[in-house]
Amino acid sequence: MEVEVQKGINHVVVIPRRKSVDASVAAEFKRKMQEIINSGISLIVLDMRDVSFIDSTGLGSIISAYKTKDNEQTLVLCNIAEGIQDIFKITKLDKFFTIFSSKESAFKALKIDDE
């Protein structure tokens, strides 16, 4: 699964470059997210701009990433498609994750200057 990683000074933006995060790619996506988390970066922005479908396995990989991070790390999501937002609401994951409408709004709220 292709994942673009944009590194900043104290953050990283992770962009899955696939329309679906599903059972066919969830294990690889989970592994890549864990590598990023294990690198010790303090802020991870998961930008879902290209993703239009996610299944329960894909959701599980994002939840796993969140549970893997330590208390000093922050993982936020942005650019979630409307249909996927509905899934987050139905499963109440919108209460679990901090979700921003765009990368820019995430950067502004988190006071990140160095894109």
pLDDT tens-digit series, residues 73-104: 999 999 999 999 999 999 999 999 999 999 99
pLDDT at 21: 96
Residue 114 has pLDDT above 80, yes or no: no
d(CA 91, CA 111): 29
Count of beta carbons in the 10 Å neighbourhood of residue 53: 14
Domain 3-108, architecture per CATH: 2-Layer Sandwich (3.30)
| 14: phi then psi, degrees, rounded to nearest 5 | -110, 125
**Cβ atoms of 87 and 53 closer than 8 Å:** no
| 39-84 residue pLDDT tens | 999 999 999 999 999 999 999 999 999 999 999 999 999 999 999 9
| pLDDT band at 22; cut points 50, 70, 90 | very high
Contact 106, 5 (CB under 8 A): no
